[in-house]
Amino acid sequence: MSEKEVVNILLVEDDYLDTMNVERELKRIGLTHPIFEARNGKEALNMLRGNDTPKISPAPSVILLDINMPKMNGLEFLTELRRDPEFSHIPVFIMTTSNEETDRLAAQRLNVSGYIVKPLSFDSFERSDSSLDSFSLFLDLIKLK
């Protein structure tokens, strides 16, 4: 498999149980792409840029991002990501327990591809506040590569 065909996923999540849940759900629906994990926005940026840690290569095809994290939260990370020409194009799906309209609006202003309310369960998508269309886009991004 060439580097262009590799589909890397970056999961930025500080909660261990949520991380395990995402990995389990992705595996359950048959996705076996490499998942890189960062515990906060600073760690994620370091992984993308190769600062003090090996650089994710190729760059992730998609980022799953929690909003509420220590050190650098999801919105701060997303702001920095969108300023970086090397990574500004990466689709980002926000995952959060927050139903706050201010969080949604801030995420939309930062050009997110979707908004997923945790706990993440792909079976219950149509019953949640998450965007089913956005989730279909997520699946297309990682399955078609």
The domains of the chain, with CATH numbers, are 9-144 (3.40.50.2300)
The reported pLDDT for the residue numbered 132 is: 43
The reported pLDDT for the residue numbered 136 is: 57
Region 77-100: mean pLDDT is 87
How many CB atoms are closer than 10 A to CB 100?
A: 11
Among 58-67, 105-114, 124-133, where is mean pLDDT lowest?
Answer: 124-133
Tell me 30's DSSP state. T
The reported pLDDT for the residue numbered 1 is: 45
- Quick: pLDDT tens for 131-142: 444 555 566 655
Spatial CA neighbour of 122 closest among 41, 15, 22 = 22
Q: pTM of the entire structure?
A: 0.80
Residue 116 phi/psi, 5-degree rounding, is -115, 125
How many CB atoms are closer than 10 A to CB 115?
A: 21
Is pLDDT above 50 for 51? yes
Cβ neighbours of residue 85 closer than 8 Å, sequence gap 6 or more? none
- Quick: pLDDT tens for 9-40: 999 999 898 888 888 877 877 777 889 999 99
Mean pLDDT of the chain: 79
